[in-house]
Chains A and B, each alone.
Chain A
Amino acid sequence: MTLAVVVALAAITVAIGLADTGAASLWRHAYHVPVLAATVRWGAAGMVAALGAVLLYAPFVLPALERVGATPAVLEGLLTFGSLLGIGALGSALTAGARRQRTRYETLVAVHRAIDGDTPLEVALGRLRACLEARLQGAVAVVVRDGDRLSIAGGAAVASGGAVGRVLATGTPLFVADLGGRDVPRRCFVAPLLARGGATGALALERDGDIGADERQAVRALAAHVGLALENARLAALQRRFADELGEKVAAATRQIVENDRMKSEFVAIASHELRTPLTALQGFSELLATRRFAPSEIVRLGAIMSAETERLGRIVSDFLDLSRLERGLPPPLRRERVDAAVVIADAVEVLRRARTTHELEVDCAPILPPLDADPDALDRIVKNLVSNALKYSPPGSRVRVAARPLQMPPAVEIVVEDEGGGIAEADLERVFEPYYRAHGAVRAAGGVGLGLAVVKSLVDAHGGSIRAENLTPHGTRMTLILPAVP
């Protein structure tokens, strides 16, 4: 294109020279074509073509002006000067303006593309900076306030006394004509990113050479646009995160409901079975007593069996009542008094030892234990529940150990029940104290409705104590409960 313009200007000049009509040659009008083409092609640089045409045409006009004065032909030549320069200036201005406008629209589209999508802020800023550097032809930095910190693209840190630091502090644009230290002036313009009624960051353009007033205005508008676009992207990301979190919560709640439903169904089945067993025994023995005659010793034996089954039925019903209170958020009723833990433990273990002779039951209480401020019946249920569980889930012939020792600061008693069973899966350790929850394999291993440990925990909590379950090496389970002593 450059060569074509140069050749065209030269050819027209030669044609004017050959026409031998000097300033009046009609070929002079042809200069407008390459000048117009150059202004359309190059914008402001097209003015050079207009100047070149004037320089080339001048030797035909100025000598005539010097020789014959301002004749009509000379005036036409001078008019052509004005026309060429005018077209050059106007065309250049219009083309440059149109290009600027087009560049701005393209830049806005590029900005939106750069920060579109669900990308982290740092990545979006990096893309935005690369896009703006290519279009603004200078070094670009984008700084955005992200909570208490600054996300920066284009540098490592923001100096508080620097150009960007000042704009972040004041929220007003800043133009620095020369950052100093070099032969060529290093200009910089920093515009605030505007959103939420204030400056949320800054857009800095730095370049060797001019940053004109028009360009500064454009960068300012661009910064305002970028601020809004980033704010929209931030809000969209926030909304997406909220939606994701909500979805996860709903899914978790749904899973929990399904799990609760499953556990309750299982509970109903087990509870029915557990209730039916003593009821069947009671029904059978009572029918036998009603329809047959037995020896007194046999009646005593049957009565003892019926009494035991009734007691078992009563325990199950008590557990249900406790569960009902537990689910309503009510603590179990306690009648607190000074209790000697060693005595309660010894009594409870003795009862169970008589009932189950399959295990070796060992009691190891410290000689002196501080008295507990507890409900003796509740403590009895706690110990019996824990020891019963240990007996249920450990093989016959194994050892079950119950120990108690005093704790200082604050004064308390630690009661430990250990067995030599298969232990509890790690995943179940946290949940064994939940109502209805039964560890995997627990149903097969032993009966029960899965309320025992939940009731124990509610009783321990009501006493202000704590309980935890852990596995022993190489096998076995340890239940450790701590109950506060009388102060």
Chain B
Amino acid sequence: MRALEQTLVPPADGWLTDTPAAALSVLAVGWLVAVVALPPPSARVIGLAAAHGALLGTALAWTATERSERWAPLQAALLIGTAAACARTFPGGALAYLAVPVWLAWRRGAWLSRPRAGWGRAIIAGAVFGVVLGLHLLVNASLTLGYRLRPPPIAGLIGWIAYDVGANVLATEAFFRLALFRRAYRRWPFLGAVALSAGASVARYLVDPLLPHSAAILAGATFYLALLGAGNCVLLVRTGSLVAPLSAAIVFFGAYRLLTVR
């Protein structure tokens, strides 16, 4: 028993320990320069790359155990930016987003290692949660707000799913669950850590320029994303792996992509 036999060592890490401040600064400056100097489409690509790269890179840096990950945000942003540029430039170019998880599996295989509960159970648990939440979203949104359940063209749907898998969901779950939630859970009770993680991820989506900013949409987003965030925290703790939260979020966002939201 460690409380008995192990000398107590005060935790060395603070809230912002291992934050790759230099890389984040570079990304922020790059994004500002792009907004000022580049045409809006290019600025959006750079903004998307900077935001997701910052989340993914910070998650890599915060969870690093062996080597320093000071420049991980720049590497992630470069990869995501390239994928975003491909998506804008070529038909089917959005599939380039799928290079990000491959890169991540190479960089940090432990994130996608076998869950404690096994691959099947973790993926199914996440998928069931995502399906329940996604279905409710579809029913509620179509009944309440009158949004039509009209799937986009298959090529567009695949593009969105690739974006979710490679950038949106991956970066969000990596940072808000794996990095932020775990860091908070080391200091706070479970409910407090869940509230911080879910609240922060809701805030991230509320400022996302891709989300329509009507009151009804914002209220719905807050409700569902808070539930998704809280549920994913539980899944992360129960399965011990990012696989289940990723599965839930990908399924939920897949359902969301079926709605025609304006």
Answer yes or no: do A and B interact.
yes
| Chain A hits for B148, CB < 8 A | none
Please report the C-alpha to C-alpha distance between residue A157 and residue B4 in the assembled complex, in whole angstroms: 7
Contact flags B157-188 to A (C-beta < 8 A → 1, else 0)? 00000000000000000000000001001111
Is the pair A204, B143 in contact by a Cβ cutoff of 8 Å? Answer: no
Is the pair A158, B143 in contact by a Cβ cutoff of 8 Å? Answer: no
Is the pair A176, B240 in contact by a Cβ cutoff of 8 Å? Answer: no
Q: Does B144 contact A (CB under 8 A)?
A: yes
Nearest residue in A to B13 (C-beta to C-beta)? A180
CB A168 to nearest CB in B, in angstroms, measures 10
| Chain A hits for B8, CB < 8 A | 161-163, 166, 176, 179
Listed stretches A90-98, A184-192, A285-293, A394-402; interface member? A184-192
CB A66 to nearest CB in B, in angstroms, measures 5
Is the pair A159, B143 in contact by a Cβ cutoff of 8 Å? Answer: no
Is the pair A62, B143 in contact by a Cβ cutoff of 8 Å? Answer: yes
Name the residue in A178, A180, A212 with the highest tally of chain B Cβ atoms < 10 Å from its Cβ: A180
Number of interface residues of B (CB under 8 A): 27
A-B Cβ contacts below 8 A, count: 92
Q: Does A152 contact B (CB under 8 A)?
A: yes
Interface residues of B, dominant DSSP: helix
Is the pair A158, B136 in contact by a Cβ cutoff of 8 Å? Answer: no
Please report the C-alpha to C-alpha distance between residue A58 and residue B224 in the assembled complex, in whole angstroms: 13
Is the pair A164, B145 in contact by a Cβ cutoff of 8 Å? Answer: no
Is the pair A155, B240 in contact by a Cβ cutoff of 8 Å? Answer: no
Which among B2, B4, B140 is the interface contact of A143 at CB below 8 angstroms?
Answer: B4
Is the pair A158, B5 in contact by a Cβ cutoff of 8 Å? Answer: yes
| Chain A hits for B6, CB < 8 A | 159, 162, 179
Nearest residue in A to B132 (C-beta to C-beta)? A55
Interface size class for chain A? Answer: 35 or more
A162-B8, A210-B189 known; A141-B3 Cβ under 8 A:
yes
Q: Does B237 contact A (CB under 8 A)?
A: yes
Q: Does A156 contact B (CB under 8 A)?
A: yes
| Chain A hits for B214, CB < 8 A | none
Which among A62, A158, A186 is the interface contact of B4 at CB below 8 angstroms?
Answer: A158
| Chain A hits for B190, CB < 8 A | 209-210
Please report the C-alpha to C-alpha distance between residue A156 and residue B6 in the assembled complex, in whole angstroms: 11
| Chain A hits for B4, CB < 8 A | 141, 143, 152, 154-155, 157-159, 162-164, 204
Is the pair B186, A63 in contact by a Cβ cutoff of 8 Å? Answer: no
Contact flags A163-200 to B (C-beta < 8 A → 1, else 0)? 11010000000001111100111101010000000000
Which among A139, A159, A212 is the interface contact of B7 at CB below 8 angstroms?
Answer: A159
Please report the C-alpha to C-alpha distance between residue A156 and residue B5 in the assembled complex, in whole angstroms: 8
Please report the C-alpha to C-alpha distance between residue A179 and residue B11 in the assembled complex, in whole angstroms: 8
Write 20 A-B pairs (CB below 8 A) sorted by A numbering. Answer: A55-B136, A59-B136, A62-B143, A65-B144, A66-B216, A159-B4, A159-B5, A161-B8, A162-B5, A162-B7, A164-B3, A164-B4, A166-B8, A178-B11, A184-B185, A184-B240, A186-B2, A188-B2, A188-B3, A190-B3
